[in-house]
Chains A and B, each alone.
Chain A
Amino acid sequence: MKLNKLAILPLLAAVAMPALAEGDNGTVKVGMITTLSGGGAGLGIDVRDGFLLAVQQAGNANLELVIEDDQRKPDIAVQLADRMIQSDKVDVLTGIIWSNLAMAVVPSAVAQGKFYLSPNAGPSALAGRGCDPNYFNVAWQNDNLHEAAGAYASSAGYENTFILAPNYPAGVDALTGFKRFYEGELSGELLTKLGQTDYASEIAQIRASGADSVFFFLPGGMGISFLKQYADSGVDLPVVGPAFSFDQGILQAVGAAALGVVNTSQWNKDLDNAANAAFVASFQAEYGRLPSLYASQGFDTANLLLSAMAVANIADEDAFRDALKAANFDSVRGDFAFAGNNHPIQDIYVREVIEEDGVFTNRIIGVALEDRSNAYLDDCSM
């Protein structure tokens, strides 16, 4: 019995310590849950590398980081979040790439009083009725890039677009987003299987539909397959899509099949501002590859956090929240502010795939939507 009583002492100390430590020096413990293995690992690695680069450049010793791999599985993400909150005692969570994982982790994390900074996933549920003062999305609301693609399609004079996306919540959101600002007719609308690799059937339907253009949202490997097969099919219609199928990690695998394709993004490496030029140069120097939009989002997420740490102590939750909300950092996107539901207000650009010194990349050819917020602001009661 005596032993048991003694054993409880360090436990009490452990519970009391973090509060003391925070009061003393304002250490912020960050838990990053992201996808580092399996098919979608490229995205998580880019977010992590962008985040680490910003932390390293800031040299702020008060930021402690724990990084774990969610393997793109919601159950594992939930376990990791529980462990980080309960035993690692993190103050801030970040890193999740996929909307379904975010839906599994974010609501319970913010309910436990933790901050969550999303470097990617922006499901509509968390922007609308499920919004939370402690949840900040630093990337975009899921619909944004698709809305921009719809706006671009209209301004380019397309009147009969064929649209397709995978049959899962983000895919359905994508088609909704495209239709929000698209003024023409739809020659066809398809929901494909998630993870589908052969699009011969869809391409045949596009050919038969009499469309004048194609919009698709097929992230990751799905987009690679679609673009290669589309280029080989002899169908010659212009293609529009969100940046997810044209990011730096994927373009090299698609090759020349993507050349000239128009896509929409909130960031590109040729955006003309000092923060971006420095980011692109230092990312290339550090990792030996060009940054993707995911890397830029990771970088911005870390800088937002660091900007809040500079003016507020995490122990004072309200002050820290206000500091985050002020978004007082140099975004690589240029102008950046948070809307009422803690999602970005930002310009969404139109890019075109080009070949530059033997590397496939993008350049900006216009602005699709200026100072775009999101469609779910009114549903959020915050």
Chain B
Amino acid sequence: MSAVLLAEQILNGLQSGMMLFLTAAGLTLVFGVMGLINLAHGSLYMLGAFAAAAVAALTGSFLLALMASIAAAAAAGALVEMLVIRRLYKRDHLDQVLATFALILIFSEGTRWMFGSFPLFLSIPDYLSGPVSLPGGIQYPLYRLVIIAIGMAIAIGLFWLISHTRLGIRIRAGESDREMIGALGIDIARLYTVVFALGAALAGLAGALVGAIQSVQVGMGEPVLILAFVVIVIGGTGSIKGALVGALLVGLTDTLGPLFLPRFFGLFLEPASAASVGASLASMLIYILMAGILVLKPSGLYGARA
């Protein structure tokens, strides 16, 4: 295997890790601050992609489409928090799972009702399309580099938000002691709505960014949701840093596994069975990684609570 291929695959792993981080960050914030398991997070991701596709079709502008995805997902997030989620904080996790699963169905069928059953068109704008040459003779799509850059910028922004702003202090306080910050006169209901909308906006943006290179269709959020849960379990629930490290680990494992495993089994199996055993094991690899990390660190890499 050439170094160029390896370098390209590492970039691919980083890129998919960055997108996972955007989705997982909101999920882990909501779980950390409110103790809520939100299965409908993937629906907000889908909503962002659909909003972007609709606005791009209407205006032809990709930037407007991205803004629309953030706005639509944040608005939907805030609305859902006020109408449904708010009633679930005191319930146990099973009730939350049930209610947010219902939200998935409502969002999916609502989206189909509005946009139809066929996938929507959303493409990369001309100024971001095509490959660029990187040092070492690597040809890499410009758009994916931009995704990596956006992901990094948002990661830095989130760390700054959490560590240097009043909102961040409140979020951290909410994570460590919910009753106490209420007693100190912080409007918890509003804080929760803001955090939920923030998480939703990040998921919506990820949906729009990814939608341009994938398929904008009903049900696109659920596979991402599963990966995002793997990420926050690996990283430790409630930790943004954990979400970042976990997302990059999952992204790289998921990209490099299918590349190396069939070659590895090819050393002692015939090609056809090596390909199929390798492919099967590669699809399990992130779960094996998760299991391994949980054995070593039961609360995840950066988990606060044991």
Residues on A facing B (Cβ under 8 Å): 37-39, 41-42, 45, 167, 172, 189-193, 195, 197-198, 200-201, 204-205, 207-208, 220-222, 224-225, 228-229, 232-234, 249-250, 252-255, 257
Contact = CB atoms under 8 A, between A and B. Distances in A.
B9 A201 contact: yes
Contact of B215 (A41, A167, A190, A221): A221
Given A167-B283, A221-B220, A253-B120, A204 B5 contact: yes
A331 to B, nearest CB: 25
Contact of B217 (A172, A201, A221): A221
A232 B130 contact: yes
How many chain B residues sit at the interface, stated as a range, is: 35 or more
Contacts of A192: 258, 279
A198 B147 CA distance: 14
A257 B9 CA distance: 23
A39 B219 contact: yes
A250 B121 CA distance: 9
Contact of A252 (B16, B121, B139, B272): B121
Given A190-B275, A232-B124, A201 B118 contact: no
Interface in B177-235: 210, 212-220, 223
B108 interface: yes
B102 to A, nearest CB: 15
B112 interface: yes
B50 interface: no
Contacts of A198: 12, 16, 213-214
Contacts of B15: 200
B8 A204 contact: yes
Contacts of B272: 189
B118 A207 contact: no
Specify the main secondary structure of chain A where it touches its partner: helix
B87 to A, nearest CB: 27
Contact of A229 (B130, B213, B220, B271): B213
Interface of B: 1-2, 4-5, 8-9, 12, 15-16, 108-109, 112, 117-121, 123-124, 129-131, 139, 141, 143-144, 210, 212-220, 223, 255, 258-259, 271-272, 275-276, 279-280, 282-283
B129 to A, nearest CB: 6
Contacts of B220: 39, 197, 221
Contacts of B109: 37
Contacts of B139: 207, 233-234
A232 B143 contact: yes
Contact of A195 (B5, B121, B223, B255): B223
Contact of A197 (B12, B212, B215): B215
Given A37-B109, A234-B141, A201 B218 contact: no
B261 to A, nearest CB: 11
B130 A250 contact: no
B223 A205 contact: no
A232 B129 contact: yes
A228 B259 contact: no
A254 B215 CA distance: 8
Contacts of A190: 258, 275, 279
Contacts of B258: 190, 192-193, 201
Contact of B218 (A41, A205, A208, A229): A41
B214 A224 contact: yes
Contact of B123 (A200, A201, A255): A255
B305 to A, nearest CB: 32
Contact of B141 (A191, A201, A232, A253): A232
A374 B211 CA distance: 38
Contact of A42 (B117, B141, B275): B117
A225 B216 contact: no
Nearest to A45: B117
A201 B212 CA distance: 17
Contact of B118 (A42, A172, A228): A42
